[in-house]
Structure 1
Amino acid sequence: MTAPDLDPVDRIDRLAAAERLAVFGAFHPLPEDGAPPGTATLLLFGPREPGFWAHVTAAPEWRDGAADPLDRWSKRVLGTLAATLGGQALFPSDGPPYWPFTTWALRSGRAWTSPVRLLVHDVAGLMVSFRGAIALGRALALPPARSASPCESCAGRPCLAACPPGALGGGGYDLAACHGFLDRAAGRDCLSAGCLVRRACPLSRAYGRLPEQSAYHMRQFHR
C-alpha cells in the first residue's frame, strides 16, 4: 500500500456536510473486501442529522414526480463529490451484482452486528443507512476505530424486547410476521414513525432522524 495521504477524512466530512451527509466509516480495503480494483480508501456516507430530511425533500428530485427520488438525489450528490475527490461513487442500488455494503460497514470499525442481528452504528444506532460510498485510489490517513460495539455497554438492550409481534429479536428476522403485523391496525405506529426495534436503540433516539423519513422508508419496505 502507498504511504497515507495526509488529506484528512474530516475535510471530506465537511464537504459532505453541505448536502447533509456525513462520513459513516472509512477503511483501507483488502482484495477480499470486494471494492473496485485499485481502491486504496473506501468511504461510506450516511444522513447527517438533524436536518437531512428537510434538505433532501427540498431538492429537485423530490419535486419532479419521477420515481426513486432519494436514490436519484444520492447519485447526483455523491457523484459530484466523488468527481471533486477524484474517486468513484458506489451505491447500494447498483447491481446485480450488488456492492457488499454490510461487509464494508463492519470493516469500517464504526458498525457492528447488534443483538437483533441488524447493523448498529456508533452515531446512528439501529437507524443506520448508507446513501453510498466513494472509492479513492489514494490511501487517506484514518482515525482509529472504536474497539467495541456500543451494544456491549447498553443497559437492558431494549431492542431485544421492542418488537410487538416478535418478528425481530435475538433469533433473527421473521419477514412474514413483520409484514403481517404491519397489515394490521396495531402496526400503524411502525408504519408512521418507524420500526419500534430501531427506535428502541438509545443511539437511534439520540440521532435526530425524523419520523417522516422513517415513514417513507417503511412505505417503500411494506408495499
Structure 2
Amino acid sequence: MIAPAGGVDGIAAALFANGLVLRGGFNFTLGDAPPPGQSGAPAKSMLLVGQVGAASWPHFLRWREKQSRTIANPLDTWSREVIGAVAETFSARAVSPSDKPYLPFQQWAMRAEGLKPSPLGILMHPHYGLWHAYRGALLFEQELPLQALETPLHLCDACVEKPCLKSCPVDAYSAQGFAYQSCLAHVRGANGGPCRSGGCLDRNACPYGTAYRYPPEVQAFHMAAFAGL
C-alpha cells in the first residue's frame, strides 16, 4: 500500500478529481531493469494508476463530448491526457499499457498490489473483484515512501464452482487459455447480442466485487472496442 505522505497525497487527489485512483507502487531494486524516467535516467519508483468500478466514466464522457468522434481509442487518449497532466505537475514520466514496446503492466500490478490472475486472466482484487483496470503509471527518478505490501487473499482459490468458466456460450475461457477467435466471432455474430450489450457473460458470472460491476453501457463500450464494432 502507498504511505499517505507528502506528494503522494497530492498525486492521489489530482487523479481522484478525474475518477482515477492510485493502485499501489514500488521502488525498483538492483535486480530490475527499470524504464527511463522523465529525464531519461532509469526510474527509481513506480505508481500505478487505474480505475475502480465505473467512477471514471462520467469524467471520460464529459471529455468525450468536446472531442471529435473520429478519435481512435478515445479512452486511451483521455487516460493519457489526465495521467500526463498529473505527471507534469509532479515531475514524473507517464506511461500507458498501450505504449510500444509494451511495458510489463501485469507484472507491475501483481508486484504492487499482490494480486493473482483469475481464470479469465484479469487480476482478481479482494474488494473490486474483476471490475477494475490499469490506465497508466507514473515513473519517478527518486524513491518514494511506500509501505510493505501485505499479500491479499486470492478469492479464486476459495471459489469452487468457477461460474466464470461456465457461462460463455462458446467456451471462450478454459484451462487451455482464451479462445480469442471464437470469442470474437461470437461477439460479432448474430447470437452475440447479449455480449455486445451487456459485456462478457463469464466476467459477469463472477460472484465477487459485484458492487463495482461496470454498468451495461460501460461494458458495451469495451466490448465494441474489443470487437472493432
Where on the TM-score scale, by shorter chain, does this alignment land: which range?
Answer: 0.7 to 0.9
Deviation at 1:167, TM superposition (A): 0.9
Query: Contact 1:27–1:43 at 8 Å: present in 2 too?
Result: yes
Structure having the larger proportion of residues in helix: 1
- Which residue number corresponds to residue 132 of structure 1? 136
Out of 184, 190, 194, which is 2:189 matched to? 184
Cα 1:199–1:217 shift into 2, 3 Å? same
The alignment's TM-score, normalised by the length of structure 1, stands at: 0.85
Question: CA–CA distance in 2 between the matches of 1:148 and 1:10?
Answer: 26
Q: 3-state DSSP class of the match of 1:166?
A: coil
Q: Distance in 2 between matches of 1:20 and 1:62?
A: 18
**Identity among equivalent pairs (%):** 34
SS in 2 for 1:185: coil
Residue 57 of structure 1: CA displacement?
0.8
Q: 1:74 to 1:117 in 2, by over 3 A?
A: closer
Which residue of 1 is the match for residue 28 of structure 2? Answer: 29
Pick from 84, 88, 93: which aligns with 2:89? 84
Q: Distance in 2 between matches of 1:33 and 1:157?
A: 37
**4+ long deviations beyond 4 Å:** 8-11
Query: Aligned partners of 1:8, 1:125: CA distance in 2, in Å?
Result: 29
Segment drifting more, 207-216 vs 29-38: 29-38
TM-score, normalising length from structure 2? 0.83
- Equivalent runs, 1:137-176 vs 2, <5 Å: 137-143=141-147, 144-154=149-159, 156-176=161-181
Distance 1:212 1:5, change over 3 A: closer
How many angstroms does 1:112 deviate by?
1.2
Distance 1:124 1:33 in 2: 30
2:173 corresponds to which letter in structure 1?
A: L
Residue 18 of structure 2 aligns to which amino acid in structure 1? E
Pick closer, same or farther for the CA change 1:50–1:213 going to 2, 3 Å.
closer
Does 2:106 correspond to 1:107?
A: no
Q: Per the alignment, do residues 17 and 79 of structure 1 end up closer, same or farther by CA in structure 2, a change over 3 Å counting?
A: same
Aligned partner (choices 219, 222, 225) of residue 220 of structure 1:
225
Distance 1:58 1:129, change over 3 A: same
The alignment partner of 1:27 has SS state of: strand
Alpha-carbon separation, structure 2, partners of 1:128 and 1:199: 13
5+ long unaligned stretches in structure 2: none
Decide whether the 8 Å contact of 2:23 with 2:48 is kept in 1.
yes
What 5-or-longer segments of structure 1 have no aligned partner? none
